[in-house]
Amino acid sequence: DTEVTQTPKHLVMGMTNKKSLKCEQHMGHRAMYWYKQKAKKPPELMFVYSYEKLSINESVPSRFSPECPNSSLLNLHLHALQPEDSALYLCASSPTDLDSQSYGYTFGSGTRLTVV
Amino acid sequence: GDSVTQMEGPVTLSEEAFLTINCTYTATGYPSLFWYVQYPGEGLQLLLKATKADDKGSNKGFEATYRKETTSFHLEKGSVQVSDSAVYFCALSGSGGTSYGKLTFGQGTILTVHP
């Protein structure tokens, strides 16, 4: 299995809702990432997990809350989002965060989030 | 900090034309360089990579050579197809300090290939 699977593929939520995005990989990778991509822009790094511990938070607002329950699963909990948070949210993984320098990342297909 | 600059698009070509998308970078140390492709409505796929100077990455007819002297990693393909229509991102993974292992992306180049 060489895939990163993200669910749901599409999500519409109100500004008072709480929702979660899910990301799963079974490649044995120990580094996992959340990226945000606005239309016609490159992805922007949000969070990095290394061996299930949060290692990088790129000053992301607290309405985004990541969680890594085990080495295969990464969640992004959403609460009180704003319309400007509407974007494609991409999950990625690499063997380790150090190996990503030579390996690169494997990306999922993303969750397209619309906040209304 | 690290940065990647890609040629501005969009790029529009006829099928079987030659493709070049320019990419230059600024980084400390010895970064690795990547090209990712994003098809409409999808995530990013790794197209090719090079981890040291003079390495050539290649995949699906695409090639790019890591040129340290010109800090470049230009993407080329000899004969494009309609199915190559996508957004192409040049990226680097830094080797120094806080940039280690983090991907820095260029702005992306939209390629459209007409029959």
pLDDT tens digits, one per residue of B59-97: 999 999 999 999 999 999 999 999 999 999 999 987 666
pLDDT number for residue B98: 59
> Are B107 and A41 an interchain contact pair (Cβ–Cβ within 8 Å)?
yes
**Percentage of residues of chain A with pLDDT beyond 70:** 98
Mean confidence (pLDDT) of chain A: 93
pLDDT number for residue B7: 84
> Quick one: pLDDT band at residue B36, thresholds 50, 70, 90?
very high
Q: Give the distance from CA A88 to its chain's centroid.
A: 10
Q: Which residues of B touch A43 (CB under 8 A)?
A: 44, 89, 103, 105
What amino acid is encoded at B115 in this protein? Answer: P
Q: Which residues of B touch A59 (CB under 8 A)?
A: none
> Quick one: pLDDT band at residue B28, thresholds 50, 70, 90?
confident
Residue of A51, A101, A107 to mutate, interface with B, max B Cβ within 10 Å: A101
Q: Which residues of A touch B106 (CB under 8 A)?
A: 42
What does the block give as tokens for B93?
A: 């993974």
Residues in chain B: 115
Question: Given B46, B100, B106, which is nearest A104 (Cβ)?
Answer: B46
Q: What is the pLDDT of residues A1-45, one digit of tens each?
A: 669 999 999 999 999 999 999 999 999 999 999 999 999 899 999
Query: Looking at chain A from residue 59 to 88, which residues have their Cβ under 8 Å from any Cβ of chain B?
Result: none
Q: How many CB atoms lie within 10 A of CB B45?
A: 15
Q: Which residues pair with A92 in a beta bridge?
A: A33, A107
Query: Is A8 within 8 Å of chain B by CB?
Result: no
Q: What is the pLDDT of residues A72-94, one digit of tens each?
A: 999 999 999 999 999 999 999 99
3-state secondary structure chain B: CCEEEECCCCEEEECCCCEEECEEEECCCCCEEEEEEECCCCCEEEEEEECCCCCEEEECCEEEECECCCCECCEEECCCCHHHCEEEEEEEEECCHHHECCEEECCCEEEEEEC
Q: Give the distance from CA A86 to its chain's centroid.
A: 14
> Are A104 and B32 an interchain contact pair (Cβ–Cβ within 8 Å)?
yes
> Quick one: pLDDT band at residue B100, thresholds 50, 70, 90?
low
